[in-house]
Amino acid sequence: MRQVTPQEALSRKYPEWIVLVVSCAANGQVNVMPAGWSMVCSAKPPLYAVSVSPKRFTHKAILDSRAFVIAAPGPDMGEAVWYTGNHSGYDGDKMPASGLKTRPGTATPVPLIEGAVFNLECRLVQQVETGDHTVFVGEIVAAHVDDSVEGRLMNFGDGIYGLAQLVESTRYEAK
């Protein structure tokens, strides 16, 4: 074992789960950005946390509507992830060019992403300043799944890949 920088150790954490963070600004502009830094952080109540830089349009839009949607991209959403991850809502509405389709949610003003594995409608309940990011914690107030979508999009560090099924590997059973 050798001691390294935090960055070098963390470069080995991949594959990483990617989510799409959907938000809606005060002027009605709907926005999507991919995030790798997110997690479930409570079961009762169901809470989801996502880490967003204050530089992002998403940061402003979440504070505007105090709500966000977490959508899990299917394996064919790679182009949309790259597009929304390399353009900012501050430069205009990126939804038309993203290829993503939305539909109204049922519990918040933030729309859902069509064809995502799941959509979690979250109401903002807490925010924590964490160095150069803000962790937004949302209570999941409605959830939706699309049973026709198989697999997930994952970030492997050297690029994002659509996984249609789990890679064959050793399975460890509880003893």
Ligand X SMILES: Cc1cc2nc3c(=O)[nH]c(=O)nc-3n(C[C@H](O)[C@H](O)[C@H](O)COP(=O)(O)O)c2cc1C
- Give the binding site for ligand X (CB under 6 A): 18, 31, 33-37, 51-53, 56-58, 85-90, 133, 155
Cα 110 from Cα 104, distance rounded (Å):
7
- Kindly state the smallest distance separating residue 171's Cβ from ligand X, in Å: 28
- Kindly state the smallest distance separating residue 110's Cβ from ligand X, in Å: 13
Residue nearest to ligand X (CB): 85
Cβ distance to ligand X smaller for residue 11 or 106:
11
Q: What are phi and psi of 59, to 5 degrees?
A: -60, -50
Q: Report yes or no: 110 and 61 within 8 Å, Cβ to Cβ.
A: no
Q: Report yes or no: 139 and 68 within 8 Å, Cβ to Cβ.
A: no
Cβ distance to ligand X smaller for residue 81 or 112:
81
Q: Is the backbone peptide bond immediately before 15 cis, with ω within 30 degrees of 0?
A: yes
Cα 1 from Cα 7, distance rounded (Å):
16
Cβ distance to ligand X smaller for residue 140 or 154:
154
- Kindly state the smallest distance separating residue 58's Cβ from ligand X, in Å: 3
